[in-house]
Amino acid sequence: MTGWVAANLISVLNGLAIGALLFVLAVGLSLVFGMMDVLNLAHGALFVVGAYLAAALAGGGPSWGGFLGALGVAAVIGLLAGGLLSAMTEPLRTRSHLDQALLTLGVALIVAEVLQIVFGDDPLAVPAPPGLDGSTSVFGAAYPTYRLVLIGVGAVLAVGVHVLVERTTLGALIRATVADREMVAAIGVDNRRVKIAVFAAGSLLATVAGVLGGPVYGASVGLDSTVLILALVVVVIGGLGSVKGALVGALVIGQIESLGRALLPDLASFVLFGALALVLIVRPRGLFGSRSGAAA
């Protein structure tokens, strides 16, 4: 009996760790879509760029230098990639949303192939930094320290993003753009700059999530579509353009991914789909979705 409890405690903790990671990944996707109606299908590819960077810079052995270096490089690359994607989707502004999504899909294919050419087909492991690569006793069960730290980092980032979006002037501008882009433009704010900033920040979060997720997921071919799907499910469940929605969605999906797989290993995929279907039937725009972003 105690063994069963311990096993599920581990699953719940795993779910929290996955949820923290998913939040960091999904919030950028959600804001970019909510603000600019650009569905960035290259978001998963950005995550994998971060993962491979971690493998390249910190893959040799546990070292803080390599890990922090990877985080820094990933942040810079994320910012640049976000700016580039924003510039690339700009000429398609007047076309249908689908064209922008297709463009990012093409970019995702290119990035995934280039990574495969550079790093090969084999999955690469990323060790956790020294001091975090051991395990900690949680209510009598050994649990990887790194994942506990990941939960903490995710919580800090979630609070940070929440404060930024809900409590600052910049955040008010972001929320206003989500609610009514034309009105924000009419009062004299350059939409494009807000778009570039949010796109860059969202992409930064994606590459950083890739580095942070490295010790959990490693870096492998096909990881990009896996995490893209999870992030999409998170934003669909939470509601596009909502930070709170991304947080709740990420925590729910994290638990489904971990607890669901532990308790119902054969049905995990169906549970994921079932949760998605249930939310869409009850709340077609997601749990915290607004009506304004609905003109798809």
Selection from 50, 44, 58, 85 nearest residue 198 by Cα: 85
Residues contacting 68, CB < 8 A, separation 6+: 129
Shortest separation between residue 222's beta carbon and other proteins, angstroms: 8
User: What values do phi and psi take at 174, rounded to 5?
Assistant: -60, -45
Nearer to other proteins, 116 or 136 (CB): 116
Shortest separation between residue 68's beta carbon and other proteins, angstroms: 32
Shortest separation between residue 106's beta carbon and other proteins, angstroms: 3
* CA gap 199, 100 in Å, rounded: 14
List of residues contacting other proteins (CB under 8 A):
33, 37, 39, 91-99, 101-103, 105-110, 112-114, 116-117, 222, 225-226, 228-229, 232-233, 235-236, 266, 269-270, 272-273, 276-277, 280-281, 284, 296
* CA gap 52, 32 in Å, rounded: 24
β-bridge mates for residue 138, sequence order: 141
Q: What angle do CA 257, 273, 262 make, to 5 degrees?
A: 30
Shortest separation between residue 228's beta carbon and other proteins, angstroms: 8
Shortest separation between residue 198's beta carbon and other proteins, angstroms: 17
Nearer to other proteins, 56 or 107 (CB): 107
Nearer to other proteins, 65 or 106 (CB): 106
Nearer to other proteins, 103 or 251 (CB): 103
Shortest separation between residue 131's beta carbon and other proteins, angstroms: 35
Nearer to other proteins, 158 or 228 (CB): 228
Nearer to other proteins, 92 or 153 (CB): 92
* CA gap 286, 237 in Å, rounded: 5
Shortest separation between residue 26's beta carbon and other proteins, angstroms: 12
The upper half-sphere exposure of residue 235, i.e. CA atoms within 13 Å in the direction of its Cβ, equals 25
Q: Is 97 exposed, middle or buried (0-12, 13-18, 19+ CB in 10 A)?
A: middle
Structural contact between residues 174 and 243, judged by C-beta atoms closer than 8 angstroms: no
Selection from 207, 9, 214, 49 nearest residue 127 by Cα: 214
Shortest separation between residue 119's beta carbon and other proteins, angstroms: 13
Nearer to other proteins, 40 or 73 (CB): 40
The upper half-sphere exposure of residue 132, i.e. CA atoms within 13 Å in the direction of its Cβ, equals 19
Nearer to other proteins, 113 or 190 (CB): 113
> In sequence order, which ranges of the chain are alpha helices (DSSP H)?
2-36, 43-58, 64-89, 97-119, 145-167, 169-179, 181-186, 191-217, 223-238, 243-255, 261-263, 268-282
